[in-house]
Amino acid sequence: MLKTETPSTAHPDLDLYELPQLISAFVEDQLQAVAAVRAAGPQLAQAVAAALPRIQAGGRLIYAGAGTSGRLGVLDSVELYPTFSWPRERAVALIAGGQEAMFVAVEGAEDDQAQGARDVQGVSIGPQDVLLALAASGGTPYVLGALEAARSAGALTIAFANNADAPATAAAEIGITLDTGPEVISGSTRLKAGSAQKMALNTFSSSLMVKLGKVYGNLMVDLKATNAKLLRRAVALTVRATGADEAQARAVLEQCDFQVKVAVVALRRQIPVEAARQLLDQAQGHVRQALDAG
């Protein structure tokens, strides 16, 4: 039996627990998710290093999963736009059962291997693209079909699974095993298996975005200021990165459509926003290189 399906020996009487003990059981078990992601650190670094040149060449991140794993892929893909101004068309999420499966479980969709392949082929996957295949069990047919189609198209394939020696990680060019073990509620992989997958995806995509120049120091300088909160954040980030006062920061941000990167370079180098944009273009979007340019 798969570890993710095996009943936990730590909590055989879970239904008898008083509430404080019950809450503690769920919370403490999540620590194994952190340990699993930490153990997969070398594989995550390998995955980022392999994905980077393809993404720099114009490739896309394509996520494929079913159920909780599929929804986590959707979540990671959607959040790249407001966080890093990553183009929506370059973060494509595929979930077994289609878009409605994000909100309603579509029974049996995960068992359709041919549909997984068709969905990947339907987004015209190619050699510059990166497929992120997500399956807690590691054997979801939909995900295996997606992997097969992606490899046939020459894309980089990275698989995340919560069981060792899983078919998905074996089928991928880079396999990332997040060994979270049995769940507190047997087989409920929306618990720590899902937590580990979310952490691993956050780590992978955020590390990739840092290497693409979307971060200066530890500041989110390429955010998309799409609401009042993010507009305030853009001003605060510009103030922190430049030492300018709030009025100065806002004035320059208004000249460059609230692009924090441009404002930081313009203020730090005391140049017009168009000149700052040119320096950033020459530095492939890296703020630090644009500031150091001769």
User: How do residues 33-62 score in pLDDT, each as one tens digit?
Assistant: 999 999 999 999 999 999 999 999 999 999
Strands of 169-254 (E only): list them.
Answer: 174-177
CA-nearest of 168, 192, 186, 215 to 66 is 168
pTM equals 0.95
- Determine contact, residues 163/179, Cβ cutoff 8 Å: yes
Q: Tens digits of per-residue pLDDT, 246-281? A: 999 999 999 999 999 999 999 999 999 999 999 999
Please determine, for residue 206, whether its predicted confidence score (pLDDT) is greater than 80: yes
Instruction: Indicate the residue type of 255.
Output: Q
Report the run of H or E that residue 63 belongs to, with start and end.
Answer: strand 61-65
Q: How confident is the model at residue 1 (pLDDT cuts 50, 70, 90)?
A: confident
Please say if 110 is a catalytic residue: yes
Instruction: Indicate the residue type of 223.
Output: L
| Paired tokens of 62 | 């394509």
Q: Tens digits of per-residue pLDDT, 181-202? A: 999 999 999 999 999 999 999 9
Q: How confident is the model at residue 104 (pLDDT cuts 50, 70, 90)?
A: very high
Cα distances from 43 to residues 91, 158, 175, in angstroms, run: 21, 10, 7
Select which of 5, 79, 148, 173 is catalytic.
79
Select which of 100, 107, 110, 173 is catalytic.
110
Report the run of H or E that residue 292 belongs to, with start and end.
Answer: helix 287-292
Q: Tens digits of per-residue pLDDT, 114-125? A: 999 999 999 999
Over range 143-159, report the average pLDDT: 98
Question: What's the CA gap between 54 and 202, in Å, rounded?
Answer: 19
Reduced to 3 states (helix: H, G, I; strand: E, B; else coil), residue 27 is helix
Rg value, the chain, Cα = 22
